[in-house]
């Protein structure tokens, strides 16, 4: 469990491989990434069996429990996407998006400012309004998220304090989607990154974590990013070592029709976990 773990033992080789991951992200192309993952066929809203509706359903169900609320929610490694925040925005006063890359932070800023060349998230917002079933108009939700997304910060999950001095107080909840395994060269660094981001969360806070199962790479334009392959057991073990209690764990098997050559993902996991109160 958490107490026996040596969280500071990455060593020189570990630091080199983390630096290599950072280098590989310099070619990350947000537009290509959005095209690969957030357009049809993966974003097909006519079927709940498709991966994007599945993710949105997991998040909507978690917030519908009524257990996850507070002042601040931090999204770790937001990338150029906001879908992961749509169900959260009713339950927090302020949402903080974060990413390692300035190009991704700029994409998010432009969406918040409603710049004309922004990615069209409207099918996502409409779908989430529909499955939440609260009768909310999609434009209202869009405005609400833009209003609550007040800070877009730089982050490095490999640092013991991922937000450094930018963190004013630990968050009431965390969301992170497809980040930790996609930026970690191996399992120990994945576990350490999870430990590091856990410092952003107050004791008793909730963590909604979504990620890739048994993936070794994904593409984002010219960038080919390495991913540490993780299983459900690996994710459970990492969460337990960082002192979480798991409330819900769901897995999605990627169907052959969605294996489109942009990655080699086998499936997707969703976890609703809660940090120990100590
Ligand atoms: N959350 C988005 C999603 O659901 O599609 C983006 C996930 S993308 C696979 C991984 C993200 O991790 C990228 O946006 C990348 O810039 C970011 N990243 C890379 N290195 C990182 C680091 N050291 N710390 C935090 N985020 C990092």
2: in domain: no
* Tally of domains within the chain: 1
Find the CATH number of the domain harbouring 140.
3.40.50.150
For ligand 1, what atom is nearest to the CA of residue 218? 9
Residue closest via CA to ligand 1's atom 27 equals 100
Beta strands in the chain (DSSP E): 70-76, 92-99, 149-154, 171-177, 201-213, 217-220, 223-226, 244-253, 267-275
Closest to 162 measured CA to CA, from 176, 148, 172: 176
Residue 8 pLDDT > 90: no
Three-class SS state of 137: coil
Asked if residue 233 belongs to a domain, the reply is: yes
Which tens digits make up the pLDDT trace of 244-258? 999 999 999 999 999
- 1 in any annotated domain: no
Domain assignment of residue 40, yes or no: yes
Residue 3 in any domain: the answer is: no
The model's pLDDT over 169-203, given as tens digits with 9 standing for 90+, comes to: 999 999 999 999 999 999 999 999 999 999 999 99
Best of 78, 179, 190, 208 for a ligand 1 pocket test (most atoms within 8 Å of beta carbon): 179
Q: Please write the tens of the pLDDT for every residue from 91-142.
A: 999 999 999 999 999 999 999 999 999 999 999 999 999 999 999 999 999 9
Residue 2 dihedral angles phi and psi, to the nearest 5° = -45, -45
Ligand 1 atom closest to 225 (CA): 9
11 burial class (0-12, 13-18, 19+ CB within 10 angstroms)?
Answer: exposed
Annotated binding residues for S-adenosyl-L-methionine, written as ranges, equal: 33, 38, 77-78, 83, 99, 104, 156-157
For residue 16, tell me if it sits in a domain. yes
> What pLDDT, on the 0 to 100 scale, is given for residue 13?
77
Q: Would residue 227 count as lying in a domain?
A: yes
> For the chain, what percent of residues have pLDDT higher than 90?
93
CA-based Rg of the chain, rounded to a whole angstrom?
17
If pLDDT is split at 50, 70 and 90, which confidence band does 2 have? very low
The residue range of the domain holding 256 is: 8-275
Ligand 1, atom 22, lies closest to the CA of 156
Q: Is residue 223 part of a domain?
A: yes
Instruction: Report whether 54 contacts 246 (CB < 8 A).
Output: no
Q: Tell me the average pLDDT of the chain.
A: 95
Distance of CA 92 to the CA centre of its chain: 17
pLDDT of 1 > 70? The answer is no
């Amino acid at each position: 469990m958490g107490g026996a773990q040596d969280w500071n033992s990455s060593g020189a080789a570990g630091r080199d491989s983390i630096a290599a991951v950072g280098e590989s992200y310099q070619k990350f192309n947000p537009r290509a990434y959005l095209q690969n993952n957030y357009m049809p066929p993966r974003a097909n809203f006519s079927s709940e069996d498709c991966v994007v509706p599945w993710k949105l359903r997991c998040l909507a169900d978690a917030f519908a429990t009524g257990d996850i609320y507070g002042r601040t929610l931090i999204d770790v490694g937001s990338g150029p996407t906001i879908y992961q925040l749509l169900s959260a925005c009713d339950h927090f006063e302020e949402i903080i998006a974060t990413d390692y890359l300035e190009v991704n932070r700029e994409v998010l800023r432009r969406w918040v400012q409603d710049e004309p060349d922004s990615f069209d998230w409207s099918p996502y917002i409409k779908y989430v309004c529909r499955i939440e079933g609260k009768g909310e108009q999609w434009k209202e939700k869009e405005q609400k998220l833009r209003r609550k997304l007040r800070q877009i910060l730089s982050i490095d999950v490999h640092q013991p304090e991922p937000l450094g001095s930018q963190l004013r107080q630990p968050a009431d909840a965390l969301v992170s989607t497809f980040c930790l395994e996609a930026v970690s060269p191996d399992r120990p660094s994945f576990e350490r990154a999870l430990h590091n981001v856990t410092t952003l969360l107050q004791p008793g806070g909730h963590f909604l974590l979504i990620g890739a199962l048994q993936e070794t790479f994904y593409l984002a334009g010219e960038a080919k990013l390495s991913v540490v392959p993780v299983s459900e057991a690996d994710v459970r073990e990492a969460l337990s070592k960082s002192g979480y209690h798991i409330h819900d764990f769901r897995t999605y098997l990627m169907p052959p029709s969605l294996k489109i050559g942009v990655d080699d993902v086998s499936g997707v996991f969703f976890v609703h976990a809660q940090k120990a109160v100590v």
